[in-house]
């Protein structure tokens, strides 16, 4: 009886303390992740980038001490698990800790703990599986702007780069004045109800802006609606995910309107017309000055359409007034300086007969002579009776000078042309300016007529 009791007493303690020995079953390990001990069956959700804390509780179920305890966990970046540098006493406990940042995805791994028992020359070990789920809500936004017709068309591309479904993603622009519903996301007003991982959606908006440089600033918001745990095991609500984009664009100014047209050609036509009466005044230089006055009545030539016709009428009227007025339209008008003299009789100079046959004979170009001017009067139009020509061989410079002189003469004629609505007083002043040549003759008449009257009276008294 006593022997049997001794055997029982020796066996029962061995069930709890391995009969004073040690082995693989003498070391046990338990792992908690952010306070959760069942992470192998239900891994906790941890936001990517948040801190993860793993605690490894080691228990020595044997009666022998364990030295050099170490833990290796593939689920820890770099395997950085810190254990205290002390022996694990028999029937004692020891805790190792690992702290690191959460990575995206499911992170389950099996950790292994080991220790040495020098007294028995054995290696004691234990394993445990643990892990977490890294929640990554990756919302991104890009945009592109195209310009045309004073409008800017903005295309926003919102994408889910995370590993969770995004809910109620909203797209708007904080810089452009977009009204409610201006952003179209696949037929919905600025909202994407569900955006799976790896998917993207395009949203468009059109805005009218004035010319200049503008900026678009897109903003996308959404949530994965996944609560997580912090390092102490406390719940953390799902945050609002935000993504931004920006783009600058320029609205060009509209093209300018049509340019202002040139001046009316009517000025050139009016400058070319000359009153025939003015040409009659030029005849005062001949014969009796008083007799030349009626020559002004030849101004009926104003009614002529062309300036040359009006001048001819004035010359004809002056010729009927008297011998002196007939010189007003004489063909002896001075030639233009620098131009060759015309052959008498109106025949233009031609190419010399001994010119070589290879030299082409150009037709002479008629050049109107410069009309004679009297002080204070409008220059008379050139006479049509005697044309003056310029040789057409090697005289390009003379022709250009002649054209410049013609243009200057026409400008003077426009400036000095008599307006049709000058009025009675204006006509008197103009006639006074035109007739200042009569001042000397009038002075002589005022002196001679009283002298003649006085001589007649004296003669009658002497008789």
Tell me the pLDDT band of 230, cut-offs 50, 70 and 90: very high
Q: Average the pLDDT over 432-438 and give the result.
A: 62
pLDDT at residue 447 in the model: 80
Say if CB 235 and CB 228 are below 8 A apart.
Answer: yes
User: What percent of the chain shows pLDDT beyond 90?
Assistant: 43
HSE-up (13 A, CA, CB side) for residue 209: 26
3-state secondary structure of 177: coil
pLDDT at residue 24 in the model: 59
Tell me the pLDDT band of 407, cut-offs 50, 70 and 90: confident
Tell me the pLDDT band of 438, cut-offs 50, 70 and 90: low
174-to-166, 178, 190, 217, 393 alpha-carbon distances in Å: 22, 9, 13, 6, 78
pLDDT at residue 257 in the model: 45
pLDDT at residue 289 greater than cutoff 70: no
Query: 424: which DSSP letter?
Result: H
pLDDT at residue 423 in the model: 65
Tell me the pLDDT band of 149, cut-offs 50, 70 and 90: confident
The full set of domain ranges for the chain reads: 15-135, 139-251, 273-330+363-406
Say if CB 236 and CB 132 are below 8 A apart.
Answer: no
pLDDT at residue 332 in the model: 41
Q: Average the pLDDT over 212-241 and give the result.
A: 95
pLDDT at residue 357 in the model: 44
Say if CB 370 and CB 335 are below 8 A apart.
Answer: yes
Which CATH code fits 15-135? 2.60.40.10
Say if CB 296 and CB 435 are below 8 A apart.
Answer: no
Q: Which is higher by pLDDT, 10 or 413? A: 413
Residues 6+ apart with CB under 8 A from 354: none
Each residue of 308-323: b (16+ CB within 10 Å) or e? bbbbbbbbbbbbebbe
pTM: 0.49
pLDDT at residue 202 in the model: 96
In angstroms, the CA 288 to CA 383 distance is 24
Query: 324: which DSSP letter?
Result: T
439-to-433, 435, 446, 449 alpha-carbon distances in Å: 11, 8, 10, 15
Least confident of 194-198, 341-345, 457-461: 341-345
What is the signed CA dihedral for 317, 320, 321, 327, rounded to 10 degrees? 80
Tell me the pLDDT band of 210, cut-offs 50, 70 and 90: very high
pLDDT at residue 408 in the model: 82
208-to-19, 151, 385 alpha-carbon distances in Å: 89, 5, 72
Least confident of 10-24, 92-106, 321-335, 393-407: 321-335
pLDDT at residue 195 greater than cutoff 50: yes
pLDDT tens per residue across span 4-39: 433 333 333 433 444 455 555 789 999 999 999 999
Superfamily name and number for 139-251? Immunoglobulins (2.60.40.10)
Q: Average the pLDDT over 293-319 and give the result.
A: 36
Average pLDDT, the chain: 72
Residues 6+ apart with CB under 8 A from 211: 150, 251, 252, 253, 254
- Which of 143, 133, 61 minimizes the C-alpha distance to 94? 61
3-state secondary structure of 389: strand
Two tokens at 329?
A: 């339209």
Q: Which is higher by pLDDT, 237 or 285? A: 237
pLDDT at residue 198 in the model: 95
pLDDT tens per residue across span 235-283: 999 999 999 999 999 999 988 644 333 333 333 333 333 333 333 333 3
3-state secondary structure of 340: coil
pLDDT at residue 111 greater than cutoff 50: yes
pLDDT at residue 203 in the model: 96
Say if CB 24 and CB 63 are below 8 A apart.
Answer: no
Q: Average the pLDDT over 62-68 and give the result.
A: 91
Please identify which residue in the block is written with the tokens 């109107």.
368
Q: Which is higher by pLDDT, 60 or 272? A: 60
Residues in the chain: 463
- Which of 409, 404, 429 minimizes the C-alpha distance to 419? 429
Residues 6+ apart with CB under 8 A from 56: 29, 30, 31, 71, 73, 81, 83, 95, 96, 97, 98, 111, 113, 128
């Amino acid at each position: 009886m006593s022997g049997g009791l001794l055997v029982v007493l020796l066996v029962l303690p061995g069930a709890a303390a391995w009969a004073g020995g040690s082995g693989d079953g003498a070391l046990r390990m338990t792992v908690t992740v952010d306070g959760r001990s069942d992470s192998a069956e239900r891994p906790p959700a941890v936001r990517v980038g948040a801190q993860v804390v793993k605690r490894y509780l080691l228990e020595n179920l044997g009666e022998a001490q364990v030295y050099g305890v170490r833990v290796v966990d593939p689920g820890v970046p770099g395997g950085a698990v810190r254990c205290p540098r002390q022996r694990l006493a028999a029937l004692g406990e020891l805790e190792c800790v690992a702290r690191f940042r959460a990575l995206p995805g499911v992170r389950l791994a099996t950790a292994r703990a080991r220790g040495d028992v020098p007294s028995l020359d054995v290696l004691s070990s234990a394993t445990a599986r643990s892990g977490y789920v890294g929640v990554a809500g990756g919302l991104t936004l890009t945009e592109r702007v195209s310009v045309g017709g004073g409008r800017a068309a903005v295309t926003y591309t919102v994408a889910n780069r995370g590993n969770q479904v995004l809910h109620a993603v909203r797209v708007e622009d904080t810089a452009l004045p977009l009204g409610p519903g201006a952003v179209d996301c696949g037929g919905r007003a600025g909202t994407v109800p569900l955006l799976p991982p790896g998917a993207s959606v395009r949203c468009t908006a059109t805005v009218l802006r004035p010319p200049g440089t503008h900026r678009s600033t897109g903003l996308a918001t959404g949530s994965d609606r996944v609560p997580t745990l912090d390092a102490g095991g406390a719940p953390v609500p799902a945050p609002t995910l935000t993504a931004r984009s920006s783009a600058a664009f320029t609205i060009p100014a509209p093209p300018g309107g049509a340019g202002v047209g040139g001046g009316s050609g009517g000025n050139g036509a009016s400058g070319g017309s000359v009153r025939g009466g003015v040409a009659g005044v030029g005849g005062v230089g001949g014969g009796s000055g008083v007799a030349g006055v009626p020559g002004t009545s030849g101004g009926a030539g104003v009614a002529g359409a062309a300036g040359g016709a009006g001048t001819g009428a004035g010359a004809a009227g002056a010729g009927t007034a008297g011998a002196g007025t007939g010189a007003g339209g004489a063909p002896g008008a001075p030639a233009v300086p620098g131009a060759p003299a015309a052959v008498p009789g109106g025949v233009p100079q031609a190419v010399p007969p001994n010119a070589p046959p290879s030299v082409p004979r150009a037709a002479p170009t008629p050049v109107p002579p410069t009309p004679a001017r009297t002080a204070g009067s409008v220059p008379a139009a050139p006479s049509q009776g005697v044309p003056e020509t310029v040789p057409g061989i090697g005289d390009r410079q003379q022709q250009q000078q002649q054209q410049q002189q013609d243009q200057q003469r026409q400008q003077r004629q426009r400036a000095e042309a008599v307006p049709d609505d000058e009025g009675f007083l204006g006509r008197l002043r103009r006639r006074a300016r035109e007739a200042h040549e009569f001042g000397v003759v009038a002075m002589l008449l005022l002196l001679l007529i009283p002298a003649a009257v006085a001589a007649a009276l004296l003669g009658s008294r002497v008789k």
